[in-house]
């Protein structure tokens, strides 16, 4: 398992599992010990094809899951922030690569322990099924947007998604850079920059810095995303 992380001799109970990007009921409380792992930015937690012995919960920082294509291009599947869980697989191996976007701390939980608890806890089994269905819906929606959405629609959807996951404040802090955004939306970095500049010119957003966006006109952004 290719984990480029510093292991900490700590264990933590998992208090709840909340999937990234979509809201759904919290999982039943689990008495499951995990190992705390810390990673510097742009390091691999695991790579596609590694044995899926663990799943992970983000404590701090941001993680991305992605796939590298044969021509060198990268497709980002999702971003995971504190409280999000990733790396739960249907098969024996990880189907994506997970990398730290920023310096981050995650907790690794043994998949075998989770499977044992699921056999004994019907509430957990029900949550896991709901989690799987939600993940499938997220992948489908992201795939449709990635393949068929216009640039403005994609960028608007991304900004609204990030805003909904953060505070109610109109300012959205982006932990990821423009290339990450481009690889998540299936655009070139030049198109992302040009679209953001156009949105700023039209008064939909302001750009105090490259990592901070203020949503001035959410109604128009939602129209673009419709």
- DSSP state letters, 163-176: HHHS-SSSEEE-SS
Q: Provide the CATH number for the domain formed by 150-224 in this structure.
A: 1.10.10.10
Distance CA 48, CA 52 (A): 10
Q: Which long-range contacts (C-beta less than 8 Å, at least 24 apart) are formed by 223-226?
A: 224/152, 224/153, 224/156, 225/153, 225/156, 225/157, 225/160
Distance CA 210, CA 20 (A): 24
Domain boundaries of the chain, sorted by first residue: 6-147, 150-224
Output the CA–CA distances (angstroms, integers) from residue 132 to 20, 98, 129, 150, in the order listed.
Answer: 12, 18, 5, 28
Output the CA–CA distances (angstroms, integers) from residue 141 to 132, 144, 145, 147, 214, in the order listed.
Answer: 14, 5, 6, 10, 25
Summarize pLDDT for 109-130 with one digit per residue, the tens: 888 877 777 777 777 777 777 7
Question: Are residues 13 and 31 in contact, defined by beta-carbon separation less than 8 angstroms?
Answer: yes
CATH of 6-147, one of 2.30.29.30, 1.20.58.1030, 2.160.10.10, 2.60.120.10: 2.60.120.10
Given pLDDT bands bounded at 50, 70 and 90, which one contains residue 173? very high
Summarize pLDDT for 40-96 with one digit per residue, the tens: 999 999 999 999 999 898 999 999 999 999 998 999 998 998 888 889 888 999 999
Place of tokens 């979509």: 22
Distance CA 171, CA 167 (A): 8
Q: Note the pLDDT of residue 168.
A: 59
Given pLDDT bands bounded at 50, 70 and 90, which one contains residue 147? low
Q: Note the pLDDT of residue 31.
A: 52
The set of residues, in sequence order, having a beta carbon less than 8 Å from that of 116 and lying 6+ positions away, is none
């Amino acid at each position: 398992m290719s984990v480029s992380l510093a292991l900490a001799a700590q264990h933590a109970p998992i208090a709840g599992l909340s999937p990234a990007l979509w809201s759904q009921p919290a999982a039943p409380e689990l008495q499951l010990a995990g190992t705390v792992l810390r990673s510097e930015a742009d390091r691999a937690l695991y790579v596609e094809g590694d044995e899926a012995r663990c799943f992970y919960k983000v404590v701090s920082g941001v993680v991305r899951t992605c796939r590298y294509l044969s021509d060198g291009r990268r497709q980002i599947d999702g971003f995971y922030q504190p409280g999000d869980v990733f790396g739960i697989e249907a098969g024996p191996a990880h189907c994506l690569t997970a990398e730290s976007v920023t310096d981050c701390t995650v907790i690794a939980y043994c998949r075998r322990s989770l499977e044992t608890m699921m056999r004994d806890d019907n509430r957990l089994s029900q949550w896991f099924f709901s989690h799987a269905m939600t993940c499938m819906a997220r992948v489908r929606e992201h795939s449709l947007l990635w393949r068929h959405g216009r640039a403005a629609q994609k960028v608007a959807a991304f900004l609204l998604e990030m805003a909904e996951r953060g505070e109610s404040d109109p300012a959205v802090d982006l932990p990821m850079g423009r290339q990450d955004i481009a690889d998540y939306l299936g655009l070139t970095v030049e198109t992302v920059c040009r679209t953001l500049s156009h949105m700023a010119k039209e008064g939909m957003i302001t750009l105090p810095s490259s990592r901070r966006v203020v949503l001035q006109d959410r109604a128009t952004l939602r129209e673009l995303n419709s």
